[in-house]
Amino acid sequence: MSRLLLLLLLVAFALVAWRTLRRGLNPPPDAAPTFEPTARCARCGTHVPRDQLDATGTCARCRAAPG
């Protein structure tokens, strides 16, 4: 009887291990990559994250180097 219990425990452990390994190899599809919207600097043309441009559409590097 105890051998049957041991066998059942072994099968249950193998099943859990198999499912865990499969989930590790194939991550769930709801983990979609996040994209940051970018925009082009009005002066130098470099694409930077949109929140780094000022109201005139100039990047921080162009603001720091006037001319």
Query: Shortest gap between Cβ of 65 and Zn ion (angstroms)?
Result: 9
By beta-carbon proximity to Zn ion, the closer residue of 39 and 43 is: 43
User: What is the C-alpha to C-alpha distance for residues 61 and 65, in angstroms, rounded to an integer?
Assistant: 6
Query: Shortest gap between Cβ of 50 and Zn ion (angstroms)?
Result: 13
Question: Which region, left, alpha or beta, applies to residue 26 given φ > 0 means left and ψ of -120 to 50 means alpha?
Answer: beta
Instruction: Give strand pairing partners of 39.
Output: 48
Binding site for Zn ion (CB under 5 A): 41, 43-44, 59, 62
By beta-carbon proximity to Zn ion, the closer residue of 20 and 46 is: 46
